[in-house]
Amino acid sequence: MNNKSAFTLVEVLVSVVILAIGFAGVYSLVATSNRVMNDSIDKEKSNYHASEIIETLHSEKKDLSTVASFYEGKDLVTRCDDMTLTASTEDHLNRLKSWCKKMGERTTGDRKIRVVRKTIDGKDVYVVLIKLSGKRDKNTVVIKRVFNVAE
pLDDT at 34: 96
pLDDT at 24: 97
pLDDT at 30: 97
pLDDT, averaged across the chain: 77
pLDDT above 90 as % of the chain: 17
pLDDT at 62: 61
Average pLDDT over residues 120-129: 82
Return d(Cα 75, Cα 68) in angstroms, integer.
Answer: 14
DSSP string for 110-138: -EEEEEEEEEETTEEEEEEEEEE--TTS-
pLDDT above 70 as % of the chain: 68
Higher pLDDT residue, 77 or 63? 63
Model confidence over 71-116: pLDDT tens digits? 665 555 556 666 665 555 677 777 777 777 777 666 555 677 777 7
Domain boundaries, the chain: 9-148
